[in-house]
Structure 1
Amino acid sequence: MTASDKLVVGSPEDILRRAAAVPEYSGFPTLDELADRFAELERQHPELVSSRRIGTSRLGDPLRMYSIGDGSLSHLIVGGVHPNEPIGSWTAVHLLEQLIRDPGLGKALDAAWHIVPCIDPDGMRLNEGWFAKPGDRTAYFADFYRPAGDEQVEWTFPFDYKNAYFDRMMPETLALARAIDWTQPDLYVPLHNGEMGGVYYYLTRPVPELYEMLHRVPEALGLPLDKGEPEAGHLIELAPAIFTTGSLEEVYDWTESLGLDPFPEGSGGESSSAYAQQYGTLSLIAELPYWLHPDADDTTEIDESYGDLLKRTGRTLADSGAQLVELLERAQPHLTLNSPFMRASSRFVPMLVSSGEMSISRGEQTEAQRPATRAELFGCVEHLHMFRLRFGGMLLRALRAEATSGSASAELRRIADVLGETYESWSRESEDPRIQSIPVSKLVGVQYGAILAGAAHLAGVQ
């Protein structure tokens, strides 16, 4: 018997061993490959795995939930909540495979597990162009797609607060709500990921007992925590790189306090995690980067104030957004296709301006008048690069789709050429020889380890 055989299943050491044992994966599976993989696991193990249809996507794909185990706890794991975030595809596959192969794992964690491989298949198909080469940033941004806010499954749950109201739940959102209602989960893990820097987490409530393990899992796999700029200034940090999800009401009030529109046209609704809280659910989100950068966890102070950093990068982002707004306005009279790329661009392009204005407003606040850290510098600059390349690239896809369909006028082709040149210059500015791609197995390992840590905590495993 080896030392690892003596580990208590679900103990910290066992979780770290399991996270490190994730097999090598080549790229990410396409939607059809993912669906086939789950269907085959159910076919091979009908005595363990069952599935039920929870809905249908807008373009007709069946949405299925796979279940295994009969413990006293209920855990729901959902992939594809944002279709440009496919790390969770392999995490979902690996989790189900391990629960099939290792009955001791399921017994120790005392749960019925419910796994939705992908809740937004229509959106994920529009990202498949870069799935075979996830380390290639050029390919990633060129074939990137993220739905408009009011078409995101994650953010289209009902919301009613002050002047904000949203109730346009999509079929996929209704399916996810149905899955949450059916399973009433103790643990809910929507499988997200980020892009660049380090690992960070969200929890819907403080759970101090989890913080150490959430730090140890990426450390054991050689990945840094992201100690730079958080995704939003209102977030409460529970521990380094661990935040509360907060509420959309808090986002509204915080944005309003900065003098900005808290609910602009095209806004979505509440999150799936907020919807699950009616059942006392603990939601856990592990945000993982595709690429590493040494500055992501460097808290050394730099010779620039945090406020000046926010204002400087905010002005550049707002100016870049204004360029895209001008090109979009010029293109509008010539558009013939109501493509998802154009719908998303119409929402996100103006957001670059408002996001830049938000950074400028934050930079003027009293608490920002302190030295910035190298990690914050990296986070602000990467935020700028990410937004320009994501949404400039999507607008370019939208314009080129018109050309591909044969409906682009001469003026629209000229606008696409101008945007193409601008996009190429932004792409060159984002180049950094210190950027390193991360093996997919390590990313899956962190996400898988975080799921096991949350489940072990709720099961009372010591």
Structure 2
Amino acid sequence: MPTGSAINIDEALHALPHYDKFCSVAELDAFAEELRGDPRFTVEVAGSSEKGAPIYHVRFGRGSLKAMLVGSIHCNEPIGGITVHGLMSLLRQGHPAVAEADVEWHIIPCIDPDGAKLNEGWTQQPFDIRAYMKGFHVQELGEQVDMTFPVQYKDISFDQPVPESRILMRLLDEVRPDFYYPLHNALAGGAFYVLKHDIGRERYQAFYDLLEESGLPLEQNIFHKVMCDEYGESVLSMPGIPNFYEFYAKSGAPPAEFIKFGETSSGYLASIKPQAQSLVVELPYLKHPITRSQKDTGESLRQLKIRQDADNKFIVTEILTAWDKVKDDLDADSALYRKVKQGTVASRDLLHEGMSASPEKTRDLLYNPSYGRTMTESERFTQHVMRLYMMSHVYEFVRLLKASQQTERVRQAIARLEPVFDELLDDIACGMDAERLEMVDHDTLARIMIGTGLVVLDAMLADRAE
């Protein structure tokens, strides 16, 4: 860790509690309620989710620097729960490394409780690739908390924040944090980092040290790299709507047809407080020995991408065919129904360009010269991980079928689609050699996430003291 630090990061990380699983929404709510009885904390219900679940805002301390952390910013990303739980535990302990830092802490333990609960079928048990795909949920981009902040850019205009985004927007307006940490994570592979402002290459070594201590690699195959500046190895500048727009425009795809979502919470904060620092850590909870391999497979990267794109289109076509038969039998009040209707079904006429959930579009796969080469073992693994993520998205239609009234048409659709997905999952598992996947222990995940945030905070405090 950095020498001469204002925050003793090592001491803080050694004092973290033990975790053997991810936190449930109920556990995070209960912890927030416990803190309500501690006079050092201010705990409020900042608002309610669409389904009426409380969204807590926990405040601790006074300081010249305001820090805000937000859990479940994407509801399918559970590392944030143990991160906020760990930080709140340190503050309750009164651990001097954080409790006595010149920081005013603001913590939103779970900004999307409705969505997080829909993932608890896989987050509350030991990781299993099948349970993950069949218990996965995340909203379409235009319905996600972190992708529905107001924005106007060229012919893009979005002003439809979901209820949870409105709550977070109000908190950002009120607190105006100097340091903002929306807690994301990746699925498998290596870690990478995104920052609004560069803090200097020498400070990124502390990021790498935390990974190295845990035997985790840096991610080399970062899709976002084509949209961002590089501050350091696997450390990128924060992208926003302009970056996505220009990426699509460059590939030849009409941006306005694909950007049906808004700005991120970090982008919104930048619009009201440009000097604020934002950090995203894409930390995987699965590791695999092939992740580091730069061995050339001799196989075409473009060919694999196009094959997977074709398979993706096949399964979406099967879903659309089934939808036309069963749509009147489905539970229209379900979040799964809205996800399928606003995503897969609404993008029917754009399927020739690729899946709605994928940033990679077909014409880019066909013509981008950077894909005209052979791929490394690491790149091949990453492609199969991306495919698992895409298939988990569209499997939500089968989840919807199972949660709806079991009419004959619904039962027939399940019987048709379930084996198709099982076959695809077997192919993905084979492609990524899933038997060698290993879950990163929860203590390590919490340590890296909290440690990385404290490194950035410490750098900001040091810069203010100069």
Q: TM-score, normalised by structure 2?
A: 0.88
The CA distance in 1 between the partners of 2:460 and 2:53, in whole Å, is 34
Change (3 A) 1:232 1:316: farther
Residue correspondence of structure 1 range 356-371 to structure 2 within 5 A: 358=361, 361-371=364-374
Kept in 1, the 8 Å contact 2:156–2:256? The answer is yes
Change (3 A) 1:263 1:338: farther
1:266: how far off? 8.5
Change (3 A) 1:178 1:356: closer
- Give CA deviations for 1:195-215 in whole Å, capped at 9, x if unaligned: 111222111232224321221
Kept in 2, the 8 Å contact 1:38–1:93? The answer is no
Change (3 A) 1:332 1:231: farther
**In structure 2, which of residues 361, 382, 385 is the aligned counterpart of residue 382 of structure 1?**
385
Partner residue of 1:194? 186
Partner residue of 1:269? 262
Partner residue of 2:239? 246
Deviates more, 1:303-312 or 1:62-71: 303-312
**In structure 2, which of residues 8, 13, 16 is the aligned counterpart of residue 22 of structure 1?**
16
How many aligned residue pairs are there?
448
The CA distance in 2 between the partners of 1:232 and 1:316, in whole Å, is 26
Kept in 1, the 8 Å contact 2:32–2:56? The answer is no
Change (3 A) 1:398 1:94: same
1:416: how far off? 1.5
1:229: how far off? 4.2
- Give CA deviations for 1:237-264 in whole Å, capped at 9, x if unaligned: 4333222221112202211322324244
Task: Tell me which amino acid in the other structure corresponds to 1:325.
Answer: L
3-state SS, counterpart of residue 239 of structure 2? coil
Change (3 A) 1:360 1:300: farther
Task: Tell me which amino acid in the other structure corresponds to 2:33.
Answer: A
Partner residue of 2:425? 427
The CA distance in 1 between the partners of 2:4 and 2:198, in whole Å, is 26
The CA distance in 2 between the partners of 1:333 and 1:265, in whole Å, is 27
Runs of 4+ that moved beyond 6 A = none
Kept in 2, the 8 Å contact 1:342–1:398? The answer is yes
Structure 1 alignment gaps of length 5 or more: none
The CA distance in 2 between the partners of 1:258 and 1:134, in whole Å, is 40
Residue correspondence of structure 1 range 157-176 to structure 2 within 5 A: 157-176=149-168
Partner residue of 1:417? 415
3-state SS, counterpart of residue 273 of structure 1? helix
**In structure 1, which of residues 16, 37, 40 is the aligned counterpart of residue 31 of structure 2?**
37
Deviates more, 1:360-369 or 1:148-157: 360-369
Structure 2 alignment gaps of length 5 or more: none
The CA distance in 2 between the partners of 1:415 and 1:235, in whole Å, is 42
1:379: how far off? 1.0
1:84: how far off? 1.3
Change (3 A) 1:184 1:233: same
Residue correspondence of structure 1 range 189-228 to structure 2 within 5 A: 189-209=181-201, 210-228=203-221
Cα RMSD over matched residues? 2.5
Partner residue of 1:346? 341
Kept in 1, the 8 Å contact 2:193–2:236? The answer is yes
1:228: how far off? 2.1
1:293: how far off? 1.4
The CA distance in 2 between the partners of 1:297 and 1:20, in whole Å, is 28
**In structure 1, which of residues 367, 373, 376 is the aligned counterpart of residue 376 of structure 2?**
373
Partner residue of 2:294? 299
**In structure 1, which of residues 99, 105, 114 is the aligned counterpart of residue 91 of structure 2?**
99
Kept in 2, the 8 Å contact 1:10–1:108? The answer is no
Change (3 A) 1:19 1:320: farther
1:107: how far off? 6.2
Change (3 A) 1:234 1:262: same
3-state SS, counterpart of residue 295 of structure 1? helix
Kept in 2, the 8 Å contact 1:348–1:391? The answer is no
Identity over aligned pairs, percent: 27
The CA distance in 2 between the partners of 1:443 and 1:101, in whole Å, is 20
- Give CA deviations for 1:16-55 in whole Å, capped at 9, x if unaligned: 4544653331222221221111221231x21x11123322
The CA distance in 1 between the partners of 2:301 and 2:102, in whole Å, is 47
Q: TM-score, normalised by structure 1?
A: 0.89
1:180: how far off? 0.9
1:330: how far off? 3.6
